[in-house]
Copies of this chain bind each other. A is one copy, B any other.
Amino acid sequence: MQLTLTGEYAIRAMIYIVSVDENAICTISEISSFNKIPENFLRKIIPQLANAGLIKSQRGSGGGIKLGKSSYQITPLEIIIAVEGEMALNKCLIDKKFCSNERWCTVHTLWCDAQKNLKLILSSKSIAQLAKESKERKNMLNH
């Protein structure tokens, strides 16, 4: 019951893109070296973020990556779902065939509640907010 490295990398990458400059184009090499993400691995993750519309990629010379929509409209939850697929704390939340009882397993509604809440929290802040808070924290430490 844990975020994968894939998800972790995706979030780091997205926050990096926001932090550098909302509208700038950056390259995958740049993102991976700055954030210590294995480049070839990141190259598998980036297209998934693009498919979800979170970033836009541009091939060719001078190409690279930029945000696909406003950083105020992107949440950690979206990023996680984009690279890990729809969240399911318990298998039976995806497909009832995994449920042990006839209509629901005993803890089904509990998992439902838990998941709904988790999604709520993970979408309660935009990456714009998160990047801003992070920058403020760093400034505090330097003083």
Binding site for B on A (CB under 8 A): 1-4, 7-8, 11-12, 15, 35-36, 76, 80, 84, 87-91, 100-104, 106-107, 110-111, 113-114, 117-118, 121-122, 124-125, 130-131, 133-134, 137-138, 141
Contact partners of A89 in chain B: CB under 8 A? 1-3
- Oligomer: number of copies: 2
Query: How far is B117's CA from A58's CA once the two chains are assembled, in angstroms?
Result: 40
Q: Taking chain A's interface residues, is the majority helix, strand, or loop, or is none over half, making it mixed?
A: helix
**Pick the contact of A137 from B36, B103, B111 — CB < 8 Å?**
B103
Contact partners of A107 in chain B: CB under 8 A? 11, 15, 76, 130
Given contacts A103-B141, A117-B117, A141-B102, A110 and B125 within 8 Å (CB-CB)? yes
